[in-house]
Chain A
Amino acid sequence: MIEPVALKDFFITFFSSALIILAGASYALLYAWSKVNPNSRIKIAAYFSYAVLVISVGVLSSAANFSGYWLIVTILMIIGYFFAPIGIWHLCVKTHHNEEAAITINKRRSNE
């Protein structure tokens, strides 16, 4: 059975949930950007966003009293959010692989 959120944790629950999605999107955005424009600072920012996501998930797990299989679901979510942008990026490259523009990006990347 679930244990509802405590009164004092109301705000932190909403806030950490929202932050999970925002940090997940920021990670995806910065990861993709770091691929288009190879720059170590962008890549570090992407991993920083992912770290924010992990912390947010931790805060949410604590505030929302996750235990038992809820923790397994949480870990799966963290892993899923890490690999999803990487997988989606590869899909992007595959769907565009005939394009000259994509080749240009690859060339630029290999030159650097």
Chain B
Amino acid sequence: MKSGGLAGVIENAGVLVDRSRGYWQDFQNWVQLDSSTLSPGRQLAVKYFIVAVILFCAQILFGLLAALQFIFPGFLYEFLDFSVNRMVHINAMVVWMLFGFFGCIYWLLEDESGTEIVGLKYGIWAFWILTGAVALVVLVYLFVQIGPGKDSSLWFINEGREYIEAPRWADIGIVAVVLTFFYNVVATFSKGKWSGIAGVLTLDLVALAGLYVAGMFYMTNITHEQYWWWWVIHLWVEATWEVLVGVIMAWSLMKLLGVRRKIVETWLYIEVALMFGSGILGLGHHYFWIGTPEYWLTIGGFFSALEPIPLVAMVVHAVYDAGAHSFKTGNHPALAWIIAQAFGNFFGAGVWGFMHTLPQINLYTHGTQWSASHGHLAFFGAYATINIAFFYLAIQHWRGDVWMAGGIKNAWRWKWALGLLNIGVLGMTIALLIAGYEQSFVERAVEGSTWGGYFAAQSHPAFQSAMTWRLFFGLITASGLGLLVWDLLTIGKGEERKAEMPQQV
């Protein structure tokens, strides 16, 4: 390249950087958020929240592309294949929720421990490493879509396990980041004060780091391979995340409604006991068709039937509290999302889970759109909702503990965002349920799980129609997300009134 050309490139790059700085400044002026009012620990939490929201947008975008490809199979063929869109869609979901959870814990850590975060510097490093690694992995997914599976591809491109496709170097990075996070949490509580929430969180983080390692083994025996895979999917995602949600929920309820610490901690212990009591053996329902001994059919079926018990406990306790207290909160959007979490978790995990769990029916439904239906409602209901509730808690504090209850300006935005997101996800769930029903019936029961049956089901008018409805509701979800982002950036802007913070009863 000629030196003049190089100078031109540098000059253009300089102009581009200046322009970006200008846009960034304009954006900061528009949102009117001043991070200097936050403690360093909460500034770190905010970084995690921002990346979480960006990844949430990526999840929806790639989900929409994959949904389009169900209807128009040739759309973006050999440019951005369905398998890649689906993989990015699912992994973005896993990672944005993880970013959200890390942000929530960093947000509450200093408040709960009563001291500054010990390894803040390591936490910031871990954040940038994780963000950089996620960006790099996604770029590799997008640019290296096909090729042979070798040891090198296992390490640098894709480990090949559905839902946890990260290459091994990224897996090791994730464990390192979780261990750094673990150190920060334990060291901070050790320096400050311990609590029931701190104890449960610490134990959960041991499992969070440890169980992920199960996904890093490579075995030639497919049954063994599937065992480890399910450990990550079920015990890591469904058990350790549920406990993490319990911790976040417990802290949020104290801040949001002024619920006494003793009550939330007692229920946290009960929830953990019930969850592990039913959840660990309930994992057996994933072992049905991978070549494991027949007793798993009974163990998996029985403990799956017990898995909704923690949710039933939640219902009873909610009624008790509603009767014993008159709820007052200074943050309506956060409370509304917590209520959405209770419903979403119950229907998505409880009702939709049990509908197709018993082996007599799971034989037909396993791995069909039925699972996707259950997954959409359960992940949104149990995890996305609590993260969004926490975003509203955080933004309220970031704005200076401003009024965010009745009579707030532009309340329609958070209400419509709540409505559109929930209607969108519920609509997708129903559409996928219909597709899954048709698929179980035609592909599995009538055609006997043959390739012919697979294609007969995929091209069936009922399946195609359901997928069109799924796309329609996906667009509604996307519009809800757009509104949510707008609302999160602007809610409380210019609000002069201070929130009435609830006192612990």
Q: A32–B316 contact, CB under 8 A?
A: yes
Contacting residue for A95 out of B266, B297, B363, B440, CB 8 A: B266
Interface positions, chain B 259-293, Cβ under 8 Å from A, are 260, 262-263, 266-267, 270
Which of A5, A35, A37 has the most B CB atoms < 10 Å from its CB? A5
Q: A14–B316 contact, CB under 8 A?
A: no
What is the CB-to-nearest-CB distance from A32 to chain B, in angstroms, rounded to a whole number?
4
| A37 contacts across to B, CB distance below 8 A | 323
The distance in angstroms between the C-alpha atoms of A7 and B240, with both chains bound, is: 37
Q: Is A44 engaged at the interface, CB distance under 8 Å to the other chain?
A: no
Number of A-B contacts (CB under 8 A): 130
| B354 contacts across to A, CB distance below 8 A | 17-18, 20-21
The distance in angstroms between the C-alpha atoms of A27 and B302, with both chains bound, is: 20
- Once A20-B354, A33-B319, A105-B323 are accepted as A-B contacts, the answer to whether A10 and B359 lie under 8 Å apart by CB is no
| B260 contacts across to A, CB distance below 8 A | 99
Q: Which one of B106-114, B197-205, B304-312, B404-412 is at the A interface? A: B304-312
- Once A21-B351, A70-B298 are accepted as A-B contacts, the answer to whether A7 and B441 lie under 8 Å apart by CB is yes
What is the CB-to-nearest-CB distance from A54 to chain B, in angstroms, rounded to a whole number?
14
Contacting residue for B505 out of A7, A33, A81, A101, CB 8 A: A101
Interface positions, chain A 41-66, Cβ under 8 Å from B, are 60, 64-66
The distance in angstroms between the C-alpha atoms of A92 and B244, with both chains bound, is: 22
- Once A29-B319, A36-B319, A95-B267 are accepted as A-B contacts, the answer to whether A2 and B359 lie under 8 Å apart by CB is yes
- Once A10-B440, A18-B354 are accepted as A-B contacts, the answer to whether A36 and B323 lie under 8 Å apart by CB is yes
The distance in angstroms between the C-alpha atoms of A50 and B87, with both chains bound, is: 42
Q: A95–B263 contact, CB under 8 A?
A: yes
What is the CB-to-nearest-CB distance from B277 to chain A, in angstroms, rounded to a whole number?
12
Q: Is B294 engaged at the interface, CB distance under 8 Å to the other chain?
A: yes
The distance in angstroms between the C-alpha atoms of A25 and B505, with both chains bound, is: 28
Closest residue of chain B to A32, judged by CB? B319
| A25 contacts across to B, CB distance below 8 A | 308, 311-312, 315, 346, 350
Q: A88–B316 contact, CB under 8 A?
A: yes
Q: A88–B312 contact, CB under 8 A?
A: yes
Q: Is B446 engaged at the interface, CB distance under 8 Å to the other chain?
A: yes
Q: On chain A, which size bracket covers the interface?
A: 35 or more
What is the CB-to-nearest-CB distance from B116 to chain A, in angstroms, rounded to a whole number?
32
Closest residue of chain A to B299, judged by CB? A73
The digit string for B339-380, where 1 denotes a CB below 8 A from any CB of A, is 000000010001110111111110110000000000000000
Closest residue of chain A to B313, judged by CB? A88
Q: B361–A64 contact, CB under 8 A?
A: yes
What is the CB-to-nearest-CB distance from A90 to chain B, in angstroms, rounded to a whole number?
10
| B302 contacts across to A, CB distance below 8 A | 73, 76-77
The digit string for B153-175, where 1 denotes a CB below 8 A from any CB of A, is 00000000000000000000000
| B316 contacts across to A, CB distance below 8 A | 28-29, 31-32, 85, 88-89, 92
- Once A92-B320, A95-B262 are accepted as A-B contacts, the answer to whether A14 and B315 lie under 8 Å apart by CB is no
Contacting residue for A102 out of B309, B324, B352, B446, CB 8 A: B324
The distance in angstroms between the C-alpha atoms of A53 and B350, with both chains bound, is: 15
Q: Is B454 engaged at the interface, CB distance under 8 Å to the other chain?
A: no
| B324 contacts across to A, CB distance below 8 A | 36, 96, 99, 101-102, 104-105
Q: Is B2 engaged at the interface, CB distance under 8 Å to the other chain?
A: no
What is the CB-to-nearest-CB distance from A26 to chain B, in angstroms, rounded to a whole number?
9
Which of B267, B325, B356, B360 has the most A CB atoms < 10 Å from its CB? B360
Q: Is A91 engaged at the interface, CB distance under 8 Å to the other chain?
A: yes
Interface positions, chain A 66-87, Cβ under 8 Å from B, are 66, 69-70, 73, 76-77, 80-81, 84-85
Closest residue of chain B to A34, judged by CB? B319
Closest residue of chain B to A74, judged by CB? B305
Q: A92–B308 contact, CB under 8 A?
A: no
Closest residue of chain B to A3, judged by CB? B360
Which of B260, B309, B357 has the most A CB atoms < 10 Å from its CB? B309
Q: B360–A14 contact, CB under 8 A?
A: no
The distance in angstroms between the C-alpha atoms of A94 and B240, with both chains bound, is: 27
Q: A91–B315 contact, CB under 8 A?
A: no
Hey, which bits of chain A sit against chain B, CB under 8 A?
Answer: 1-5, 7, 10-11, 13-14, 17-18, 20-22, 24-25, 28-29, 31-33, 35-37, 60, 64-66, 69-70, 73, 76-77, 80-81, 84-85, 88-89, 91-93, 95-96, 99, 101-102, 104-105
22 pairs from A and B in contact (CB 8 Å cutoff): A2-B297, A5-B361, A7-B446, A10-B441, A11-B437, A13-B361, A18-B354, A25-B312, A25-B315, A29-B319, A32-B320, A36-B324, A37-B323, A60-B358, A66-B360, A81-B312, A88-B317, A89-B316, A91-B313, A93-B320, A95-B262, A104-B324
4 additional contacts (CB under 8 A) given A28-B312, A91-B270: A4-B360, A21-B350, A32-B320, A36-B319
Chain A to chain B: the 4 pairs with minimum beta-carbon distance, closest first? A36-B323, A32-B319, A64-B360, A101-B324
